Amino acid sequence: MAGRAVRILSVASECAPLVKTGGLADVAGALPGALAAEGVEMVTLLPGYPAVLSALAGAEAVHEERDLMGGPARVLRGEAAGLKLLVLDAPHLYDRDGSIYLGPDGHDWPDNPERFAALCWVAAALAGDYDAVHCHDWQAGLVPYYLRDKPTPTILTIHNIAFHGLAPPERIGALRLVPSDFNPEGFEFWGKVSALKAGLVWADKLTTVSPTYAEELMRPEFGMGMEGMMRARAGDLSGILNGIDEGVWSPATDPHIAPYKTPRGKARNKAALREELGLPDSGGPLCVVISRLTGQKGMDLLLESLPALLSRGGQLALLGSGEPAIQEAFQDLSAQPGVAVRIGYDEALSHRLIAGGDAILVPSRFEPCGLTQLYGLRYRTIPVVALTGGLADTVINASPAALARRVATGLQFYPVTATALGNALSRLCDLWEAPEIWADLQKNAMSHPVGWENSAKAYASLYFSLRH
């Protein structure tokens, strides 16, 4: 694109590889590098969690706040993991044990509204040095509001509209909001302050992480109460697919797995994975799951439909944690010889699961984009996915027509029920038992584009369109 580089301030609550709880971190970490080739210089503003501060190199203070939501703070500029960073060093907000969102008791930090409002406030203070501010999810949702009377344009990306960033109206003053904007046309949502809604109302442009999810957000079953707002902003909304970092997720160079430069690498990794997890050889496909164990992710449906896989000699290897009842049910299942369950999260094991599995299961009731099916495609691990959101946009269903044209990359099922998932698992076993068809699926999967190139061009075009 012609002209000088566009300078973008990206505001996110997490960023891989520094701090990560989900796909948002992967996107925030991968975008700056992907955009550099498109003439975009991106600097990422993050909260000063201990892990971020310890990784920051060449730090210098560039901004100070005497009283930022309850204490002094400063902004440090530096680099880490190849990223240009601004880090909000505010110990009263971020220097604490527990996860970045949850305390040791497993519940949200009570001051989460202030913790992320502070991030937004500082972003607004720094915005004048940039051509636009790219805000990610509710944690950055107040940036467009704080900039409502300033010239710097804003883009809000919705990674998951289920999370609204709610606070009681008694905290309007503490969050530095104007009380008269607490109304249905403003940041009010069913009697509460919604940071996400503030972003939806005041951002110049809205994006979400797949074209299908952009359409779904305008429907009551997916909009989570925001569908009216999404319909009103339809002209400003675009769906841009997420990609994956192909340097991190590369079968040929992945440090977590055995060499994988030929199809035989899949067989070696499968054998190693079975040995690690204590799974015997079997006559069916080894299916893997890497997921939060929640109803949204369809894990209850998997529990109900699993006999369709196990009865055909298939196996399940699962890594995740989540709702206690679902988690305990999978732990109970692990007593069966064809099931292995690991509770928690292990980045290295996730690579070995995807490298060694024959198929990856993503039965989500809704899924804005999803990344694990993209990892599966990259590693010849056939995705079995619900027909929703980004899963619909990234997997070519093995229909008779797609198989005849030799373009299928996986299996989709609809409606999102246990019966339909069970039928898909049976169909998976049928395909597994047809070696030539299975080899075609694997070849197609590995050649399917999963990187950031096309999406980076779409984001760059949006940024350039907003430049004054």
Known binding positions for ADP-alpha-D-glucose: 20
For residue 144, cis peptide bond before it (omega within 30 degrees of 0): no
Instruction: Give the pair of three-digit tokens for residue 19.
Output: 């701090």
C-alpha pair distances (Å), 269 with each of 272, 340, 385: 5, 16, 23
C-alpha pair distances (Å), 378 with each of 4, 289, 334, 428: 35, 16, 28, 18
Residue positions in the annotated binding site? 20
Question: What span, in angstroms and rounded, lies between the C-alpha atoms of 129 and 198?
Answer: 23
Question: What span, in angstroms and rounded, lies between the C-alpha atoms of 283 and 162?
Answer: 40
Under DSSP, is residue 268 helix (H, G, I), strand (E, B) or coil? helix
Q: Given phi > 0 = left and psi -120 to 50 = alpha, else beta, which region is 137?
A: left
Of 347, 350, 348, 269, give the one whose Cα is nearest residue 317.
350
Under DSSP, is residue 172 helix (H, G, I), strand (E, B) or coil? coil
Evaluated on CA atoms 217, 100, 186, 75, the torsion sign reads negative
Beta bridge partners of 63: 75
Q: Given phi > 0 = left and psi -120 to 50 = alpha, else beta, which region is 249?
A: beta
**Residue 321 DSSP label:** E
The secondary element (H helix, E strand) that includes residue 74 is: strand 73-80
Contact 26, 245 (CB under 8 A): yes
For 240-301, where are the E strands, in sequence order? 286-293
